[in-house]
Structure 1
Amino acid sequence: MKVRIERDLLADGIAWAARALPARPVVPVLAGLRLTASAEGLGVSAYNYEVSAGIEVAADVGGPGEILVPGRLFADIARTLPREHPVEITADATKARVTCAGSYFALPLLPLDDYPATPLLPETAGTVAAAPFAEAVAQVAIAAARDESLPVLTAIRVHLTHDTLVLAATDRYRLAVRRVPWQSATEDPDRTALVPAKVLADIARAAGSGADVRLALGSERGRRGLLGLSGGARHATSRLLDNEFPAYEWLFANETTAVATIGTAPLIEALKRVSLVVTRNSPVRLSFGRDALRIAAGTTNEAEAAATLPAELAGEPVTVAFNPVHLLDGLTALRAPTARMLFSGPTKPTVLTEDTASTENAGNTWNTGDPDYRYLLMPMRGA
């Protein structure tokens, strides 16, 4: 193998593929990055039996070949090489040699014959704009659980319809749902997949700089389902979770008794200040009046804090207590200057949305619009 490539192109390609390098590989070869030199350029890929990531990078190939190099070490080397200088990579039967602007490295090769075959991308199901997709995944991923004891709660549910992707995640205490338009490539796209939230968020964030993302769903014989994402020269796959996501639409069916409208940024700032006195598992209390919101936390026996903000309330005054971290997560995920909170009582779920429609009341039927993003939050005791 003999390759000459720009340093920044190499570093960017390795950074994309390295997301599939396992922290603790079950077999040593999974710690490797596969480099494939061909007439098309340099391919860089990694695979850990659950996730794969690969990219084709423009390069001058003087001699084709395929090798497996220590992934983390090679990534560290690429990051530290001088910018705006070409990198030369050569390899023989035992070592890969990297030279750049007077720097030289020799890396032992890993046994390529022991490396597992990387999954092929399934058939494309449709296309979605990269930036809105990345934003949607980020808005939903905040509600996924971090505790691996219930794998289904660590996932994002991806539901495909003919013109919309519906993403949802929950950790039992909150639920985030986001719709994003897309273009289906099949006549019957109605399908659902459970993707590990951490994996999907990482891949979508990295792919968000492109124009479009092609989404693929399929399965391999004897294995769980497979999600594929590709855009430009980048591609990735993830194994799907084989679980049943909890039914959640009924949670939005509660009768709305009050709707509050308030500036998103001022509310976030006030919550952060008041939350300084919150102890573990303690709530912040939000008391909405006709034209103001009072935020309070703490007890008379400990530190206390409070803040008052202007707010608009349609309906009866309400006081609700929330986990401050969960509430801040939802507010931070909003992309509008004004937030709306829909209440059904102090003990029933509160729905947080962006203020995209006027609120009216006619016989207890509220016109709350049909927002693309909804963040449902369970109240805590302590109001």
Structure 2
Amino acid sequence: MDLDLTAPTASLASAVADVTRLLPTRVIEPVLTGIVLRGDAEGVTLSGTDRERGIRLWAPTLCHVDGEVLVPAKPLAETLRTVDTPEIRLVVEGSRLAVRTPQARFALPLLDLDTHPGVPAPPARLGVVAGGALRAALAPVAAAASRDDALPVFTGVRIASEGDRLVLMASDRFRLATARLPWRPVDTTPIDVLLPANTLAEILRRIPDGAEVGLHADEDRAALTWERSGLITALLATPFPSTDRLLSVTPDTTAWVEADVLAGAVRRALPYTGPHGLISLEVGDAELRVRGVDSQTGESEEMVKAVVDGGRPTRRFQARNLADGLKAFAGEQVRLAVPDIDRRGTVLTGEARRDEVELTYLVAPSRGGGH
């Protein structure tokens, strides 16, 4: 096995760290804790898999000797993270991969590359979406998914096509985020898959704004590919529940407000939301009143200017759920559509955007302690 390359430390460390985060730390097959480095004239490709997910990331390097090696991922990531030189050299020396700086040498054992399963090729490509629009849509949607593995359907992001629009959707049962964005399908084959939200969130920042992202899927797997990089993952088998009834709300009251201003008021109320983290949102004639009350810490009240139409209801929310919903509309005016039935969720929508991403965020009301 041969490999000799010089790379900018920061970009290589970032790519290695992102691959490592998606690899298992405790497995029956120790080879799966390794990272494959393949260097050639175009740079270095870093890849790894846990058999459920596979990732391949590209980083710029000057490759002196082409080659491919397998080394323990975590020690390599930790070493690169702590090195403070602008460039670093990786070179095979006997049975070790040496990580060299002008002042230091670190040596990692070479693992048996032949025993590594490799990252499988993605399924057929079904369409293409702009990287910047996908990032803008996927970030708030993935954040709305549950972290509770006991309910796997709510840990995923549903990605489905509707003609020339792609629809992303996720929920943790107490909030629901959906985003619609343009895409270019390859043919008439639709896409409708449920992917792990945490996996998508981990890889999101690696997608450049100017990249075209390919969407691939078959009955068992789905993949995102861009430039020389990609992510492939097994699908979550559970079907995502229908949400049409939740979003088809005829509001009794609407209020337009600066999302950042209202989010700031909600954050400032957090110390006064009690053990269950609840706030009250009262609709006034030309303002929204954010209230927090706790018998131990006291109470807060802040008014935020708004353009109001309709009734004057009061709703209680989990403060952090409302704050997360408003964060998705940072820098925008947001419309709150409040239904006349207090058991129905309040729907947040924003202004028309240049990237044509249409975001909708539903926050369920709280009627008592907790959710």
The 3 A distance-change label for structure 1 pair 326 and 133 is same
For the residues of structure 1 that align with 2:59 and 2:263, how far apart are their CA atoms?
42
Superposition map of 1:1-383 within 5 A: 1-8=2-9, 9-38=11-40, 40-92=42-94, 94-185=95-186, 187-219=187-219, 225-299=220-294, 303-345=298-340, 346-356=342-352, 372-381=358-367
1:325 Cα deviation after fit: 0.6
> Which sections of structure 2, spanning at least 5 residues, go unmatched?
none
For the residues of structure 2 that align with 1:161 and 1:3, how far apart are their CA atoms?
48
1:170 Cα deviation after fit: 0.6
Q: Deviations over 1:167-211 (max 9, x none)?
A: 0001111110001111112x2132200000011122122214442
1:38 Cα deviation after fit: 4.2
Deviates more, 1:118-127 or 1:162-171: 118-127
1:265 Cα deviation after fit: 1.6
For the residues of structure 1 that align with 2:204 and 2:234, how far apart are their CA atoms?
15
CA contact (8 A) 1:335 1:354 kept: no
Q: Which amino acid aligns with 1:285?
A: S
CA contact (8 A) 2:272 2:293 kept: yes
Give the TM-score normalised by the residue count of structure 2. 0.90
Q: 3-state SS of the aligned residue for 2:5?
A: strand
CA contact (8 A) 1:19 1:53 kept: no
Percent identical across equivalent pairs? Answer: 30
CA contact (8 A) 1:16 1:53 kept: no
For the residues of structure 2 that align with 1:271 and 1:49, how far apart are their CA atoms?
42
1:272 Cα deviation after fit: 1.3
Q: Which amino acid aligns with 1:107?
A: L
Q: Alpha carbon RMSD of aligned pairs, Å?
A: 2.4
Give the TM-score normalised by the residue count of structure 1. 0.88
For the residues of structure 2 that align with 1:255 and 1:58, how far apart are their CA atoms?
52
The 3 A distance-change label for structure 1 pair 280 and 300 is closer
CA contact (8 A) 1:178 1:374 kept: yes
Q: 3-state SS of the aligned residue for 1:199?
A: helix
Q: Deviations over 1:204-252 (max 9, x none)?
A: 2221444221221125xxxxx2121121121221111011101001112
For the residues of structure 2 that align with 1:37 and 1:269, how far apart are their CA atoms?
48
CA contact (8 A) 1:82 1:100 kept: no
Q: Which amino acid aligns with 1:372?
A: E
The 3 A distance-change label for structure 1 pair 350 and 371 is farther
The 3 A distance-change label for structure 1 pair 305 and 118 is same
Q: Deviations over 1:145-179 (max 9, x none)?
A: 11110011000000023311100001111110001
Q: How many aligned positions are there?
A: 364
Q: 3-state SS of the aligned residue for 1:257?
A: strand
Deviates more, 1:272-281 or 1:323-332: 272-281
> Which sections of structure 1, spanning at least 5 residues, go unmatched?
220-224, 358-369
Q: Deviations over 1:299-343 (max 9, x none)?
A: 567621111222221111111111101000000111443111101
1:58 Cα deviation after fit: 4.6
